[in-house]
Amino acid sequence: MLPLLIVQVVVFQMPNKTNAQDSYILLNCPPDSNYTIPSPYKTDLDRLLSGLIVSASQSPSLFANASVGTVYGFAQCRPDASISTCFTCLNLSISTFATQCPLQRSAAVRFDSCLLLYSDRRFFSQLSVDTPRIIVNGGDASNPSALNQQLTTLMNVATSEAPKSAARFAAGVRNFSQVEYIFGMVDCTRDLSSDDCARCLGEVVSLLPINGYGKLGARVSRISCVARFENYRFFSFSLLPSPPPGNNTDTATITGGKSKNGTSTLVLAVVVPLVIVGPLLLATICTYSLMMRRRRAAVRKGQRSTGEGISGDCLLFDLGTLRHATNNFSDENKLGEGGFGSVYKGELSDGQLIAVKRFSWNSGQGVEELKNEVDLLAKLQHRNLSELGEIGELWPARSVADHLYNRGKSRSGPEDLNKYLFGEDLARRGNLDWKSRYKIIEGIGRGLLYLHEDSRLRIIHRDLKASNILLDVDMNPKISDFGIAKLFYLDETQGNTSLIAGTYGYMAPEYAMHGQFSTKSDVYSYGVLVLEIVTGQKASGFRGHGNASDLLTFEDPSDRPSMASVVLMLNSSYIPLRSPSAPASFSLGIA
């Protein structure tokens, strides 16, 4: 039997959606026991927290517990959080401890996406005894009775299903009118038993209709569990009110009773065993639309269009629109040369500034490479990747890349990183202060992390270099030119090719010499690019005199970190960095 925990119920106004991620929803700092500085406890605590947030954010389950000396720690992120969101949230939790719980020997903080706690007593797999904290959305429902009825059904089913899930998590949606939906979620700490999870959820869920009656949202939080509902989707995967028959996903559809507004349908998603949690949540009930029309047959120099469409969410432009936007591809609008030919500045009728790649038959790259780039980028959406649309007519083929202009701003010349690092314009090169360089390095890293781990399919770029990094007016980077990129399915880790494509100097040795490529070959190219950004010198230009040694480190791909680790290193001062190693090999060049 649970002890009576509701000593005090505190009702707060729900913070707005934009700021909710930065505000903790529960903080527990018992003042009864403090440590001193310096002390062995403080040393152990710092070691524990720095390792814990890395372990949790890199774990497939986004969960970890550990101990160092007499300090015990626990970290967990919501199953729908990305790796970067998880790490950022846990890192913010450490900062919160430093400012809100200084010198406390025990503390716990819960944010929307994560939970972090530590203590000088072992607490693993134990149900917490703490006062629930209630946060209520100030909005009122148009039909409070109908909302409350559907909320009760939704949360009861979720509470029943979550303890059965390995992730101790469930989320669902239910309509309480013809056009209004209620979204609910329950979550326990993953070290709890099924029975303890059910107990905790039973308590917090029982408080929702009492304190949130007629409101459009509320949450009740304890250290061990949380229950929440809103009138908007606040989790990161989709739940469709009417799944198609025969759907083979781990989504159960439950039909409720009749209401005044008709049949109410409940869609419940339960996180399944951890082996497939990641892929499921990254693409839960995602739908794709085939937006590309069949290309018209055309003949040029005896070659014919393949007639193959390109799948994905891709914008369509007709040739006339692009001609008008670029002033008929005039030389005045020409920005430079891309991987397939010339790049032109264009302006659409709504004022949006774009860049248009015009395919050249003399570019050295064929239609297949162009199709590969469009096909890949049509599937990708990330702020550090360029975006593509395509026209419906192939000859001459043109792809439309977002040009990274901010509305109302303009520049002359192409905005690639190569020009900023090595161009003749000293004023432009002077714009790259240390803050901008760090921003570029981090942004490229996040883009690669998305390609390698967070996108629907794993993609190896294979040609990462300064000229393939575009910059907007705020120096935000975007990875471009996916003409030779390779797509891996989730169970693939390495590919081989006899056709070496890319840029020597940036290629990993195993790719340049043996045609072997993987995510680690992209990591190698990223390392070369980071050196160029930091030093302002080309990788091929580090030769100070005729007799110079070319040093090579991280020759073995297994020695290179993953992009997830790299992004974590760039965003935390708590992660211990490996000491530089001696070069694995070197060659002596004589001029």
Are residues 151 and 262 part of one domain?
yes
The CB-based long-range contact list for 67-71 (8 Å cut-off, 24+ gap) reads 67/122, 68/44, 69/40, 69/41, 69/44, 70/41, 70/44, 70/120, 71/41, 71/44, 71/45, 71/118, 71/119, 71/120
- How far, rounded to the nearest angstrom, does the alpha carbon of residue 494 sit from its chain's CA centroid? 22
Is residue 116 predicted with pLDDT exceeding 90?
Answer: yes
Q: What gap in Å lies between CA 319 and CA 298, rounded to an integer?
A: 15
- The single-letter DSSP state of residue 385 is B
Residue 3 lies in a domain: no
What pLDDT does residue 315 have?
53
Mean pLDDT value across the chain: 72
Measure the CA–CA gap between 528 and 508, rounded to whole angstroms.
9
| Overall size of the chain counted in residues | 591
* CATH code at position 510: 1.10.510.10
pLDDT tier at 255 (50, 70, 90 boundaries)? Answer: very low
Question: Are 218 and 229 in contact, with CB atoms under 8 Å apart?
Answer: yes
> Are residues 153 and 38 part of one domain?
no
Q: Cα–Cα distance between 264 and 147 in angstroms, integer?
A: 11
Q: What is the pLDDT of residue 251?
A: 31
- The answer to whether residue 269 is domain-embedded is yes
Question: Do 249 and 108 lie in a common domain?
Answer: no
Pair 482, 505 in one domain: yes
3-class state of residue 88 by DSSP: helix
**pLDDT exceeds cutoff 50 at 282:** no
- Whether residue 146 is predicted with pLDDT greater than 50 in this model: the reply is yes
Query: Beta strand pairing status for 10-13 and 133-136?
Result: parallel
272/300 same-domain check: no
Q: Which of 73-82, 287-296, 302-311, 538-547 has the highest mean pLDDT?
A: 73-82
Omega before 243 cis (within 30°)? Answer: no
164 annotated as ligand-binding = no
Q: How would residue 501 be classed by pLDDT, with cut points 50, 70 and 90?
A: confident
DSSP for residue 117:
E
Has residue 509 been placed in a domain? yes
AA identity, residue 304: R
Q: Is 439 helix (H, G, I), strand (E, B) or coil?
A: helix
Do 399 and 264 sit in the same domain of this protein? Answer: no
133-136 sheet: strands from edge to edge: 10-13, 133-136, 217-221, 225-230, 181-188, 169-175, 262-270, 251-259
DSSP label at 250? S
Q: Report the pLDDT value the prediction gives residue 368, as an integer from 0 to 100.
A: 57
Q: Is pLDDT of 206 > 80?
A: yes
Coil vs helix vs strand at 22: helix
Q: pLDDT band at residue 461, thresholds of 50, 70 and 90? A: confident
CA–CA distance, 455 with 172 (Å, rounded to integer):
24
> Where is the domain boundary, 282, 315, 345?
282
Q: How confident is the model at residue 537 (pLDDT cuts 50, 70, 90)?
A: confident
CATH label of the domain that carries residue 207: 3.30.430.20
Whether 550 is catalytic: no
Residues 337 and 229 in one domain: no
The two counts, helices (H) then strands (E), for the chain are: 13, 29
pLDDT band at 530 (very low <50, low <70, confident <90, very high): very high
> pLDDT of 318-374, one tens digit each?
677 888 888 888 888 776 555 556 777 778 887 776 767 676 555 445 555 555 555
CA-to-CA distance for 490 and 453, rounded, in angstroms? Answer: 9
Confidence of residue 401 (pLDDT cuts 50, 70, 90): very low
User: Is residue 74 one of the residues assigned to a domain?
Assistant: yes
* 473-497 tens-digit pLDDT: 888 898 887 777 777 765 667 888 8
Closest CA to 533 of 428, 452, 433, 462: 433
* Per-residue confidence band for 141, with pLDDT thresholds at 50, 70 and 90: confident
Q: Is the pLDDT of residue 591 over 90?
A: no
Are the C-beta atoms of residues 268 and 160 closer than 8 Å to each other?
Answer: no
Structure tokens at 67: 């101990």
Q: Exactly one of 463, 472, 481, 550 is catalytic; which is it? A: 463
Stretch among 92-101, 313-322, 507-516 having the lowest mean pLDDT: 313-322
Task: Flag whether pLDDT at 310 surpasses 50.
Answer: no
Domain CATH for 343: 3.30.200.20
pLDDT > 70: percent of the chain: 64
Asked, for residue 14, whether it belongs to a domain, the answer is no
User: pLDDT category, 397, cuts 50, 70, 90?
Assistant: very low
Q: Which domain holds residue 99?
A: 31-119
- Cα-flanking dihedrals φ and ψ of residue 219, to 5°? -145, 145
421 phi, psi to nearest 5 deg? -80, -45
Is residue 21 in a domain? no
Count of domains observed in the chain: 4
Residue where a domain terminates, one of 367, 382, 412: 412
Higher-scoring residue by pLDDT: 81, 581? 81
SS3 165: coil
Q: Are residues 146 and 274 in the same domain?
A: yes
Q: Is the pLDDT confidence value at 248 over 70?
A: no
- Assess whether pLDDT exceeds 60 at residue 195: yes
Tens digits of per-residue pLDDT, 20-54? 456 899 999 988 888 988 889 998 998 899 889 88
Distance, CA of 103 to CA of 29 (rounded, Å): 10
Q: pLDDT confidence of 295, banded at 50, 70, 90? A: very low
- The pLDDT score that the predictor gives to residue 176 is 79
pLDDT surpasses 80 at 546: no
The answer, yes or no, to whether residue 117 has pLDDT greater than 90, is yes
pTM of the model: 0.47
Q: How confident is the model at residue 407 (pLDDT cuts 50, 70, 90)?
A: very low
Q: How far apart are CA 129 and CA 160, in angstroms?
A: 22
What residues contact residue 96 under an 8 Å CB cut-off, 6+ apart?
24, 27, 109
